[in-house]
Homo-oligomer: A and B are copies of this chain.
Amino acid sequence: MNTTPPHLAHRASRLAAALPPAAPDGAIAFDSGHASPAVLPDLRAAATSALGTHRAETLQYAPRPGLPEMRRWIAEHMRADGCAVTPDEILVTNGAKHAIELLCRLLLDEGDAIVVTAPTYFTAIPIFRSFGASFVEVPQDRDGLDVDALRDALEARARDGLPAPKFVYNVPDFHNPTGVSMSLERRRALVALASEHDLYIVEDSPYRSVRFDGESLPPLKGLDTDGRVFLVGTFAKLMAPGLRVGWVAAPAPIVARLVQLKADGGSCPLTQRIILEFAKDGGLDAHGARVRATYRANRDHMVAALARELPNATFDVPEGGYYVWLALPDGVDADAVAARARDEGVIVIPGSKFFARADVPHPSNLLRLAYSHASADEIDEGVRRLARAAAAVREAAPALAAR
């Protein structure tokens, strides 16, 4: 076959391209959730131990729910963070996106609605779309997801005779792309509203441990008393993205059903054991401190560069995570700026990619900038290039408008 069979076209055409095209050589990457090269851990000793002492475990098929020791480690890590979970409430997955996919397979039927913030994590959008989900968008502010607006939306759906959404998807800590963390009051209100309307909550929490300032607030999972919050975690930000080990924490009967849908012969025991070997004796805690110090410095550097180079753009300084959510001034079109920025040699993602619904208007002047991957010099130079791109678009705009 030289062309795609027409009867398959509908499947993949639902999926927006989830990742931007590869960056040109020499471009500075403000687009990716990659780790800083400065904080990639040295895992050689951990791997040598995993492939020597633990060879019979790491090279055979593993238990599908995860290595027992890994499930215990994750449960303990979560208990220390205020979530009363047991190892049988943990499912190890091939990264966090695999956890989201499994939850979709379990929970969604074609045409089901789910609740997302506007904006939301852009890589999750095509996953949800591939299951035929429709989107209920709710706004957020500096306190996170607007729970009152969600209540109104749920009540409006009920009045219209529409079925309730299946779940609320949210990133309550250092939200992607906005960097916002939900206030305690909002967290409590969201969990209570979910209980009242019998909704599940998928709490996607990759950045929780990457906090620079302010006070850590309980995960939604820690406020949940009736087992309706499913927390998705990952070692991508704790250690390294390439390990592809994530997890979902959910009531044991849900985990048992997710295991049945997890048709993979067990997630890779080698990478699980490497993580356990690296984490023991405080290794992961020490690494986490290095990661936070590096990203805090990167954030400070980017904040200073933006204040210097783009004084008319506005943003809130994130207390953690990887991203600055930048509002360009005067309705400058962010898609045009992102395209121009690519020509200037810096890659950013326009805000338009982060809105799940294409059929309602959204602000067009927003950009997500990742400070995680670039060095201090790259941040300085990248922001300068971005400022040139924004200036060029502003100058061109009146001419375009006059045509």
**Are A44 and B52 also in contact (CB < 8 A) when A260-B18, A261-B12 are?**
yes
- Bound-state CA distance A325–B266 (Å) is 26
**Are A260 and B44 also in contact (CB < 8 A) when A61-B34, A61-B241, A268-B268 are?**
no
Whether the pair B59, A240 counts as a contact (CB closer than 8 A) is yes
- Stretch in contact with the other chain, from A78-86, A94-102, A136-144, A180-188: A94-102
- Bound-state CA distance A48–B44 (Å) is 5
Whether the pair B47, A59 counts as a contact (CB closer than 8 A) is no
A binding-site residues for B, Cβ under 8 Å? 1-4, 8, 11-12, 15, 17-19, 32-35, 37, 40-44, 47-48, 50-52, 55-62, 64, 94-95, 97-98, 100-101, 105-107, 123, 126-127, 130, 226-228, 236, 240-244, 251, 253-254, 256-257, 260-261, 263-271
Minimal beta-carbon separation of A52 from chain B (angstroms): 6
**Chain B, Cβ-Cβ closest to A19:** B64
Whether the pair B126, A241 counts as a contact (CB closer than 8 A) is no
Minimal beta-carbon separation of A66 from chain B (angstroms): 13
Between A and B, 19 residue pairs with Cβ closer than 8 Å are A1-B251, A4-B254, A8-B254, A8-B257, A11-B105, A34-B60, A34-B61, A47-B47, A47-B50, A47-B51, A61-B242, A94-B244, A94-B267, A94-B268, A95-B264, A123-B265, A126-B260, A130-B261, A244-B265
- Bound-state CA distance A285–B202 (Å) is 46
Whether the pair B1, A227 counts as a contact (CB closer than 8 A) is yes
Determine the chain B residues whose CB is within 8 A of the CB of A226 once the complex forms: 1
- Bound-state CA distance A78–B156 (Å) is 57
| Central interface residue in A17, A51, A267, by most chain B CB within 10 Å | A51
Q: Closest 10 interchain pairs by CB?
A: A1-B227, A59-B240, A12-B257, A4-B253, A47-B47, A59-B242, A15-B260, A244-B268, A127-B263, A40-B59
Q: A4-B257, A42-B55, A123-B265 are in contact. List 11 more A-B contacts (CB 8 A).
A: A1-B228, A8-B106, A8-B257, A18-B263, A35-B60, A40-B56, A59-B242, A60-B241, A126-B263, A130-B263, A242-B269
- Bound-state CA distance A59–B226 (Å) is 37
**Chain B, Cβ-Cβ closest to A52:** B44
- Bound-state CA distance A101–B102 (Å) is 12
- Bound-state CA distance A18–B264 (Å) is 11
**Are A59 and B44 also in contact (CB < 8 A) when A2-B227, A257-B8, A260-B15 are?**
no
- Bound-state CA distance A44–B260 (Å) is 33
| Central interface residue in A11, A15, A226, by most chain B CB within 10 Å | A11
- Bound-state CA distance A48–B261 (Å) is 34
**Chain B, Cβ-Cβ closest to A94:** B94
**Are A265 and B97 also in contact (CB < 8 A) when A42-B51, A253-B4, A260-B15 are?**
yes
Determine the chain B residues whose CB is within 8 A of the CB of A105 once the complex forms: 11, 130
Determine the chain B residues whose CB is within 8 A of the CB of A58 once the complex forms: 242
Instruction: Specify which of B11, B44, B59, B60 is in contact with A51 (CB 8 Å cutoff).
Output: B44
Instruction: Specify which of B35, B267, B268 is in contact with A59 (CB 8 Å cutoff).
Output: B35
- Bound-state CA distance A157–B173 (Å) is 55
Whether the pair A242, B62 counts as a contact (CB closer than 8 A) is yes
Whether the pair A37, B56 counts as a contact (CB closer than 8 A) is yes
Instruction: Specify which of B47, B94, B101 is in contact with A48 (CB 8 Å cutoff).
Output: B47
**Are A260 and B12 also in contact (CB < 8 A) when A40-B55, A44-B52 are?**
yes
**Are A243 and B59 also in contact (CB < 8 A) when A4-B254, A257-B11 are?**
yes
Determine the chain B residues whose CB is within 8 A of the CB of A266 once the complex forms: 244
